[in-house]
Each structure stands twice: as structure tokens, then as C-alpha cells.
Structure 1
């Protein structure tokens, strides 16, 4: 038995996936020339990953978005070495990338407790600086949330991703029969009878040229990077964005989606993926599905029927191909079961890979001289 629950729904307007901040390290304290005293260093500004934190909380609690660390204490007769200024910690969710205002990557916070120094305090006054302190580092930085979910829905606009998320998780994203209904990521959670939960992310629809930041472009693609697996959602009857754009069959849609992911970051095609063929309740859906199946079974031959600019270097491998109707519920129980199966298989593989990596690291740490000679062939 599988049942669903609305667990984690973010309404449009409340979801914040990036924020810009002004950060400044504290100025150092004055030195004391006649006694050779050192002023205290200025405080530092850190970004710290903390559980149950959202970027929106930063905007709400700090509307000016300015974080300035404390000034170092001056050297004095009572304390020749001045105290360091107070550090400032900016708490952010895990899955954050931090960049400078020039676009330089400063670091990522992927686990709770990870810390990143974003503005260093100035040195206190000392004999080397003529007892004059230095100012702290000043920066404008950007925090970007790369959404973390078990499964990311990938598809062109109007493929039925939002309807599928509703059917799977009882989340209630905006749904309408036109493109670009989803402008912000929506999260739903599928719950099973043993209380297992799987998070599913409906992401803004791709368009051709997304890798060049057309449409939602990089806003979509950056979230795809942080999902464990992908779920391609394709309209069985094909897709056409507008009257002046070409019509794409279901198989050509699969090729184009793969191409956009590949052009943005080739490694995305190595993620485990499920292919969902949606709208099987439509007239002639069965014949379209049979045509798609034939193409998928003979991919190497079928790709030559299409223009080179839609063909990816490597074809996406799908662990499962599932025909469904998000409107009638056709195929959804099977899809829910396969989602869990695929994720559990990946967890098993990842655990084994981590164990093997740990063994290799331990072996590197053991000096060769400490390995016993018994059982090891000796030179004659």
C-alpha cells in the first residue's frame, strides 16, 4: 500500500533561492607604541550551514542584508595584546554555493556545520605596521541555493510535471493548460506506509537554449545538479512551445532534454533517471507510445532521423520507462513503487562505494613497513 501526504509545499512568492549580502570584516585595534603593544585583530564574517534554515529567514531578519564583524580592541597598559573583535556568523541552509560579486566561487556548504570565511578581519596595530591597524575585508557576496531533493522533474513546459507532482504528493502547485505555469521550484513528498519519505521537486520548465540561460535557464539547471535522480516527464503526443517553433515528437523531446542537460554540464547525464510518459489518457496516446517505444528500443538507428543539433553526445540511460496519466491516475502506483526501488538501489551502490573509498584511504595511511611479511611473496 502507498499513501501520500502534503508535507513540504512552498507557495509561489515564499521560496527564495538566492540572496545578495554585504559583508565586512572588523577593523583591527590600535597598537601601543611606547610599550610595543599589539592591537586585537578585527572579527571575521562566516557563512555557516545550519539545519532548518532558509534563505528567506536571512532577508526577513536582516532586511538591510549587511553583516559587519566587531572591531578589535586597542592595546592598553592593562592588556598589551588587544582582544579580537567579535565574529559574525550568517546561518544558511545546506546546499549553498557562495560567490563574490564578480562571480568567483568562494565555496560551498553541503553539510550541516560547514563554515566558510567570507570576510576576514583586519590585523591589529603592531610594530611592523607602525602600530596602525588595518581595515577588514569588504565584499558583496551571493548565496545560491541549489535545491536538494531525491528526485527532480525534468521536462519542457506543459508536459504535465505540476499535475504529476500533485498526483504523487498532494502538493498543490499552480496548474494550467499553458506553458510556464511553474516559475518557482515546488516540493512535494511521497510517503509510504512504513513512513519512508521521498522528496520530489517540480522545477521551472526548460526551453531549447536553456544551457545558454534562455527562459528560466540556469535557474532550472542549477537545481538539477543537487537532485539524487532525475525524472524526465514527456507528453506522449509531443511538444510545441509556440506556433513559430517546430513540433517535437516524444522521442525528439527526450533527445532535446538530454541535449540541454549535456550542454550545461555533461555529468548530469550520468545521474540515474526514470522516463515518465505522461497524458496516456489522450486520444491516440497508445499509438504514439508504441512509436516512442520503437525509437527507444532502437536508439542508435533512430537518432539518425533527426537533426544533429538535437542529438546529445551520449544517450540518457533510463532505469525505468513508465506510461502514466497524472489526470486519471493510470500507472501512478507502479511509478511510486519504482521511484522507491530506484532510490534504494542507488543508496546501496553509494554505500558500497563509500566503504571501498574508506578502505583505500585507510590503506594509504598505513606505512608499508608495518604490513606483515607473511602471505606476501618474497623476492628470491
Structure 2
């Protein structure tokens, strides 16, 4: 194996290891205590295990805190006694989690049922109820608390998400339109965890934009950061697809893709993970417009995108099956940018983002209570 390939493999392993947006933990509600039948005494109920959204918490910290703990249990209730007819209830165990976490109960087959989501500061969710204390209804025998394995998936909450292959210029774009300061460098995989910036407008409106780790071909199969990326765009309202005018090639061992092929490949990866993502409003940014021949590429892509309005299949007729989505993304606008352009071009993009978000009609999200094995 070539040295470059070995180095690339080690870099990717290091980066994936540092990116934690999913964690598993076993939880158990406290057991209810026995009552005292001859005196009519009622035992205390067990405490609940509760998740609480905390703006200062991260899933990395949660994972490190609980990964070696066999089970996170709430306190058991206290039994009824002659000196205390009503036993004390057990204290709840409150686990801090970041905002945007979805909790699932995992079954034996690896799938599970959604318990709920935590999307606001201070919001609470009971994930394991404590057992009832012993009393007349249960023959004065305390009941065991619920026990389950939980999977916590962090889904970023942002108005728009930057979508693209590594080194397309997403981080540079985020810095240009917001006050965020993501790491920027001229090599792939610079971004290894989500970075959120806020676009501020003169009317005091704010739009949140997320720079996410770059996709790889095969991301829907969880290659590279696969699901760690795709999970985060499920909640975004707008996709801002960023592609290099010169196309993309991960390494000499990978095929070279043109700019238009890159756009179609991104659409295919989104579709194979979750087909409904193709229905999201989208903008296309052709980046690095200062490169030779980039203006011609921009004009060609614009013509192709305009053509698909009248003929949706036009883009797909001559595309190899391995990079062909069932339908292309529908872009509201196609614009070109470069690092040397001034604030006018960036301001134009910011305005298009605001207008596109404003065009959306608020629709309630469909309830999705099932977790599939792709999220494990």
C-alpha cells in the first residue's frame, strides 16, 4: 500500500473517532419499595431516569461520562415502616444531553422505538420510569423500574446546511457569510464536527447555517463519516450545495468527477440515505470561480439546471447508473463564488438564502418513530 494511502487511512480513522454524534447507554428506573399491609402503609415509588437538554452539554462529554457505566439507575423507593407509613420516593437520575438529541429504545434486533426529542433548553424527557410502590393495588409489593438500552442521536438544528464533498469550500463560505470561525485548509476532511454560524441581516433577522463534514461516495453505506453527516441535514430547511468548479477527486485511486457529476452524486447519496431529502429547497453554489474555465462550467451547469425545469429527465439521460439519482435536486438558484470576490457576491448569496427560506410554507414534520439499522 502506498504511503499516501496509509496516511489518508490513518487521518480518516483519527477524525472519525473524534466525531461523536451518537451514543448508547443502559438506563433503569428505580424499584418501588414494599408497603406494609397490616398497617396499610404504602412503599415509595422508584425514581425516573430523565434526559434534560443543556445548551452547554455535548454528546462527546456524555459518551465519555457514561460509556464505562454498566447501567445508569435512578434511586429506589423506601419501604413503608411502622415509624414511616408512607415510604419516601426515590430520587430521579437526570442526565444532561445536548439540544437536538433524539432518544430511541433499542430492541434485540438493533432497531427500536423513538421515545422523543429534546429541542429546547431545559426540556425534559422520561426514558425509564420508576416502579410503583407497594400498596393495595399491587398486594403491597413494590414493582421493578423500567430498564432499557437507549441510543441517543444528535441531529443538528439549523435553518440551512452546507452540503458537499471534502474541500469544496464549505468552511470558507461559512466564514464569509457568518461570524463562525471554522478551521479552513487546502486539504480534505478539514471539518470533522458540525460548525454552526449565524447570518445576520439589517432587519435583525438571523439565519443559522451549519457546515458539516464532507461526504464521500458511498456515504449512504456509512463510509467516511456517512451517517454522521447525513443525520444532521434531516432537520435543515434549506440545502446549500457547494461544489468545486473543477469537480472532485478524493485521491489518485478514486475516479475524477466533473462539476455536474459531483452535483448528481451528491443528490444520489442524499436519496439513498433518505429519499425525502431531495424534496428540500436547495441552492447550488459553484465555488472557486477564479479557476481557469470555471465561468464556462458555471454557464453549462446553469443551462442544465434550467433545462430540467421543462424536462426533469434531461440531466439523467447520459449519466452512468452508479451516479444517477431517481430525480435531481431542484435548485431555486445557481450562483458562482470565489475567494477573491468581494462582499457584494456574498451579500447576494445571503439575500437568496433569506428569500428562499421565506418562500417556504411551514409544514409540520411527519412523525418518525422508528429507527432503522442505518442509524446504528
Tell me the equivalent position of 1:105: 113
Q: Distance in 2 between matches of 1:122 and 1:302?
A: 59
How far is 1:30 from its partner? 2.2
**1:90 paired to 2:90:** no
User: 47, 50, 57: which is aligned to 2:51?
Assistant: 47
User: Which consecutive unaligned segments of at least 5 residues does structure 1 have?
Assistant: 1-11, 355-380
State the Cα deviation string for residues 254-287 of structure 1 (Å, max 9, x = none).
1111111111111111111111111101111112
SS of 1:74's partner is coil
1:198-227 CA distances to partner (integer Å, 9 max, x unpaired)? 211110111111111111100000001121
| Partner SS state of residue 148, structure 2 | strand
Give the match for residue 321 of structure 2. 308
Q: Which runs of 5+ in 2 are unaligned?
A: 1-15, 365-376
**How far off is 1:42 after superposition?**
0.9
**Which residue of structure 2 aligns with residue 30 of structure 1?**
34
- Report how many residues are paired: 339
1:277 is matched with which residue?
286
Choose 78-87 or 208-217, whichever is displaced more.
78-87
1:135 shift after superposition: 3.3
Indicate the SS of the match to 1:259: helix
**SS across alignment from 2:237:** strand
TM-score (norm 1): 0.80
Contact in 2 for aligned 1:326/1:332 (Cα 8 Å): no
Output one character per residue of 1:84-106: Cα deviation in whole Å (capped at 9) or x when no partner. Answer: 32223334343211124544233
- Are the equivalent residues in 1 in contact too, given 2:199–2:209 (CA < 8 A)? yes
Which of residues 177, 187, 202 is equivalent to 2:186?
177
1:349-376 superposed Cα distances (whole Å, 9 cap, x missing partner)? 21xx57xxxxxxxxxxxxxxxxxxxxxx
SS for the counterpart of 2:284 is strand
Residue 117 of structure 1 is matched in structure 2 by 126
Instruction: Describe the SS at the equivalent of 2:214.
Output: coil
Question: Retained in 2: the 8 A contact 1:236–1:250?
Answer: yes
Are 2:218 and 2:226, in contact at CA under 8 Å, matched by a contact in 1?
yes
TM-score by length of 2: 0.80
8 A Cα contact 1:48 1:109, kept in partner:
no
Indicate whether 1:133 and 2:142 are aligned.
yes
The Cα of 1:166 is off from its aligned counterpart by 1.7
DSSP-derived class of the 1:195 partner: coil
Number of the residue aligned with 1:17: 21
The residue that corresponds to 1:343 in the other structure is: 357
Deviation at 1:175, TM superposition (A): 1.9
Q: Which structure would you say has the larger Rg?
A: 1
Q: 1:84 to 1:170 in 2, by over 3 A?
A: closer
Written as runs of structure 1 = structure 2, the 5 A alignment for 1:172-251 is: 172-251=181-260
CA contact under 8 A between 1:49 and 1:111: conserved in structure 2? yes
Residues 313-322 or 51-60, more deviating: 51-60
Aligned alpha-carbon RMSD (Å): 2.8
Residue equivalent to 2:75: 70
Q: Bigger CA drift: 225-234 or 46-55?
A: 46-55
- The answer to whether the 8 A contact 2:305-2:331 is kept is no
Q: 1:88 to 1:335 in 2, by over 3 A?
A: same
Greater Cα shift, 56-65 or 145-154: 56-65
3-state DSSP class of the match of 2:165?
A: coil
Question: Could you tell which deviates more after superposition, 31-40 or 275-284?
Answer: 31-40
